[in-house]
Amino acid sequence: MSTREERHFKEADAQARFEFKKEQRAAFVAEKGLTEETVRVISADKGEPEWMLQRRLRALKQYHAMPMPAGWANQPDLSEVDVDAIVPYIRPDVDVRGGVRDWDDLPEDIRDTFDKLGIPEAERNALSGVGAQYESEIVYQNMREEWESQGVIFMDMDKAVQEHPALVKQYFMTKCVPPTDNKFAALHGAIWSGGSFVYVPEGVTLDMPIQAYFRMNSAGMGQFEHTLIVAEKGSEVHYIEGCSAPKYSAFNLHSGGVEVFVGEDAHVQYSTVQNWSKNTYNLNTKRAIVDRGGRMEWVSGSMGSKVTMLYPATVLNGRGASDNHITIAFASRGQDIDTGAKVYHNAPETKSTIVSKSIAREGGRTNYRGLVRIADGAYDSSCTVECDALMFDNDSLSDTMPHIEIMEDSVDVAHEATVGKIGDEDVFYLQSRGLGDDEAKQLIVSGFIEPITRELPIEYAVELNRLVELEMEGSLG
């Protein structure tokens, strides 16, 4: 078998990991559309307390009162997004609500789904805990006993509402991502389902990451998982989020919510490897609030969706707090990947760094859309923004739209943006060393995204590189 044939079969195997489909087998499927009755049905099916139902209903009212996002320069087209045409909630047919703890207790078809995605292997080799969501609910949840014995909580959000109501009431969509933030945050607040609750007590350091994987299997559905992370003083945790969905003709909507609270001198890293299909609209809201001396890191790879609008935000409220964003966006034909970062410097001596990498090919569009705001009184703060774009052809587009507001004199702010094409001389040099054209380009791209892959555990760095290679071959979606 030739090298080309071997690569073809490897690519087909890798593609199959994400593009396989299962017949829908659900215990409960909500009606399409977004009404008060729909919200009440979802809440009742979950057995939620009255206070959560009331929060959902207030978010629903807010959603109907707000217009669709409009008026932004070069905003992605959202005209196809019709919330009334999606199924907002599907409870999979799993006997144990909130996730089983033994992989073998999952139904065979659901277990096979996550086996193909490599979740059990990752759990054995590289993780402190794993949560797996299928459709609208967590179906598997487990954490190593050594962390549970130290007071670490890692469970699905639905279970946290029941078992830790005081903590959830305090943090859930109150001051970090309230429903008033934007229309899709309000939508999320009304029909959220599943997701992760992570609580790390003071002084506890998890030396291995925890992961949640979210899989949409059904056509025409929406997934609205909520992730809430609370890291107390001096604690440390790395949370990894993986997402995927097969391709269907009907559009899917993903509108998750992420809230992170970083305590004094705590450290949280939130890493995302998203591989939605090219019929998915990915419209997330993610935000962190950081106390004195705390450190927040966002590492994300966005690819595969038809449209992505994602701008993780960090609010630096404590003196000496810091924030770091490293992102990659990959857009091919028919894709509009609009990503960026927001940082609010509200205290002295705060620091932030934003590194954005984007790749566009075959007419795809990538865009960096960012906001940096340094408040009056946030003296001796600093921020560096670096945006690098790589284009394969003249049909592709890449834009950079930074917005910087400075209300304090004693600060240091820098912004740099570069856009370039893969150079013929670089490809020629690598070909002269025995590489084919595709292999040469893939090597150049791997070097381009290396700042991101080096921040991930080796298993996930390999996965991200594999996804990029598949995108370059046009094999995904």
Reply yes or no on whether the pLDDT at 471 is more than 80.
Answer: no
Q: What pTM was computed for the model? A: 0.84
Residue 63: what pLDDT? Answer: 95
CA distance between the termini of the chain = 27
Mean per-residue pLDDT, 84-109: 64
**Closest to 59 (Cα-Cα) out of 173, 161, 171:** 173
Six-digit token string for 113: 């789904």
More confident residue, 269 or 447: 269
Reply yes or no on whether the pLDDT at 81 is more than 80.
Answer: yes
pLDDT band at 321 (very low <50, low <70, confident <90, very high): very high
**Closest to 193 (Cα-Cα) out of 222, 218, 164:** 222
Residue 135: what pLDDT? Answer: 55
Q: Find the domain containing 383 and state its range.
A: 3-473
The answer to which of 37-46, 102-111, 123-132, 306-315 has the lowest mean pLDDT is 123-132
Residue 464: what pLDDT? Answer: 62
Q: Which helix (H) or strand (E) holds 399?
A: strand 397-406
Could you give the CA distance from residue 103 to residue 100 in angstroms, rounded to a whole number?
7
CB contact at 8 A, 345 and 314: no
Residue 92: what pLDDT? Answer: 66
Residue 417: what pLDDT? Answer: 86
Quote the mean pLDDT of the chain. Answer: 80
Reply yes or no on whether the pLDDT at 367 is more than 90.
Answer: yes
Six-digit token string for 5: 């044939």
Residue 127: what pLDDT? Answer: 44
pLDDT band at 477 (very low <50, low <70, confident <90, very high): very low
Q: Which helix (H) or strand (E) holds 317?
A: none
Could you give the CA distance from residue 18 to residue 469 in angstroms, rounded to a whole number?
14
Residue 157 CA: distances (Å) to CA of 167, 189, 192, 378: 11, 13, 10, 35
Reply yes or no on whether the pLDDT at 106 is more than 70.
Answer: no
Q: Which residue has the tokens 């450190």?
A: 295
Residue 136: what pLDDT? Answer: 55
What is the per-residue pLDDT across 368-384, written as a single tens digit (0 to 9) for each? 999 999 999 999 999 99
Residue 227: what pLDDT? Answer: 94
Give the CA dihedral 26, 12, 327, 89, nearest 10 degrees. Answer: -10
More confident residue, 476 or 50: 50
Mean per-residue pLDDT, 75-98: 77
Residue 194: what pLDDT? Answer: 85
What is the per-residue pLDDT across 117-172, written as a single tens digit (0 to 9) for each? 455 455 444 444 555 655 556 555 565 677 778 899 988 899 999 999 999 999 99
Reply yes or no on whether the pLDDT at 466 is more than 60.
Answer: yes
Residue 139: what pLDDT? Answer: 53
Reply yes or no on whether the pLDDT at 250 is more than 80.
Answer: no
Could you give the CA distance from residue 164 to residue 157 in angstroms, rounded to a whole number?
10
User: Can you name the residues that pair with 236 across neighbouring β-strands?
Assistant: 205, 267
Could you give the CA distance from residue 51 to residue 468 in angstroms, rounded to a whole number?
44
Is residue 424 classed exposed, middle or buried when 0-12, 13-18 and 19+ CB atoms within 10 A define those classes? Answer: exposed
The answer to which of 45-49, 59-63, 133-137, 240-244 has the lowest mean pLDDT is 133-137
Count of domains for the chain: 1
